[in-house]
Amino acid sequence: MKRRVGVLISGRGSNMAALLDAARDPDYPAEIVLVISNRPHAPGMALASQAGVEARAIDHRRFGTDRASHETVIDAALRDARVEIVCLAGYMRLLTPSFVGAWQGQMLNIHPSLLPAFPGLHTHERALAAGVKLHGCTVHLVTDAMDQGTILAQAAVPVLADDDADRLAARVLAEEHVIYPLALRAFAEGRPAVSAPADAVLRNPLPNERGLA
Ligand code: GRF
């Protein structure tokens, strides 16, 4: 039986689209049954609808500062759809401990850095400012501590001499689209999450000599 997945987005939805693409494979162990956006006009909503997946807008602005009520509606939609695994994919709202607790161990996120480096926002700018030579992305379990849950998968990319944040972001994003489907596959198959390297999905494109910063 395929595991039932709900995806939460706020914007572009390219990681959601990568998950949808992967889930088209009949052998993929998960199916995306619901996409929820807190922004009704998020471009990802149209992508989900075009793919034939129910796309539901649950606009946080309807709830003012009442974060818990917004999440109650999201939680009910996920439960109604019999979702078992939640994938955050560019979902730009902080989640309350109550929601995180309800989905603990069943909620994944993709973050655009090699955690534990650069949790939080503006990761590409911060990576450039720090002068790191490798940057990347991480799929991890969501816990109360932001961007600190168990790491399920990582991919590294080189930081090149002429990078700006946009170029670096694009290189990282291409890897996000690879590792999120791989991590969800492993997770849905119940492969243990992951402190042994053998279980981690680790992609390391070799930096080429000419490009190294
Ligand atoms: C990605 O960079 C992801 O790592 C971060 O938010 C961005 C979402 O992009 N959490 P998209 O909406 O999946 O295109």
Last residue of a domain, one of 82, 103, 124: 103
Rounded to an integer, what is the distance from CA 148 to the centroid of its chain?
Answer: 14
- 47 and 91 share one domain: yes
Q: What is the pLDDT of residues 119-162, one digit of tens each?
A: 999 999 999 999 999 999 999 999 999 999 999 999 999 999 99
Q: How far apart are CA 178 and CA 45, in angstroms?
A: 21
Confirm whether 124 is a catalytic residue.
Answer: no
pLDDT at 199: 42
- 114 and 202 share one domain: yes
| Averaged pLDDT of the chain | 91
- 87 and 120 share one domain: no
* Domain carrying residue 78: 1-103
Last residue of a domain, one of 74, 103, 132: 103
Q: How far apart are CA 133 and CA 54, in angstroms?
A: 41
Does the structure show a pLDDT above 90 at 203? no
Determine the atom of ligand 1 nearest the C-alpha atom of 89: 13
Q: How far apart are CA 161 and CA 118, in angstroms?
A: 20
The CATH number for 9's domain is 3.40.50.170
- 27 and 5 share one domain: yes
pLDDT at 196: 40
- 212 and 131 share one domain: yes
Tell which one of 7, 15, 118, 180 to mutate to probe ligand 1, the residue whose CB is within 8 A of the most ligand atoms.
15
- 78 and 124 share one domain: no
**Ligand 1 pocket, residues with Cβ under 6 angstroms:** 9, 11-15, 44, 89-90, 110-112, 137, 173, 176
Q: How many domains does the chain have?
A: 2
Lowest mean pLDDT among 78-87, 93-102, 144-153, 199-208: 199-208
Q: Give the pLDDT mean for 163-180.
A: 96
Task: Tell me the CA–centroid distance for residue 200 and ligand 1, in Å.
Answer: 21
Last residue of a domain, one of 58, 87, 103: 103
What is the pLDDT confidence band of residue 206, given thresholds at 50, 70 and 90? very low
What is the pLDDT confidence band of residue 191, given thresholds at 50, 70 and 90? confident
